[in-house]
Amino acid sequence: MRLKIDEHGIVVEPSLHDGYVDTITVNPDKSALLACRTSTGQLLKLHLIGVRAFQGNDFRDGNIIAQLWIYQGARIPAEAIESLLFNEHSKKEDVQRLLRALHGSTDYFFHLCPSYGLEVKAICNDVSWEWPCA
């Protein structure tokens, strides 16, 4: 079954709103795996492949998902990249250069936004999923 993503980049099917992140694994091969459950208990595995930048903050017992956004290429908002990469050590020009490069690519920006606990932001070459899982 395919994920359904609306025109704003929000994953609407399966609905992950009020779902959970059970585990996250970041691998040395530049991949990451998130095992999630919908609010009805269906298991969903999200695979991030070819991770170029990754940020995961505030993992807790009982991580609750508010929204999942997945943008690709020219649809990646500048604010998304800035929120992931811009800090006191970065230069705005470098972030803008990366944004231009991403807009000309097929890379993805992945943003799992929590209502409680874990927030994940990543730039990667591909996003795949297994849903429903056994």
Global confidence as pTM: 0.89
For 9-38, the pLDDT digits (tens) are 999 988 999 999 999 999 999 999 999 999
For residue 88, pLDDT over 80 is answered with: no
How far is 14 from 37, CA to CA, in rounded Å?
10
What domain range is 85 assigned to? 4-130
Number of domains in the chain: 1
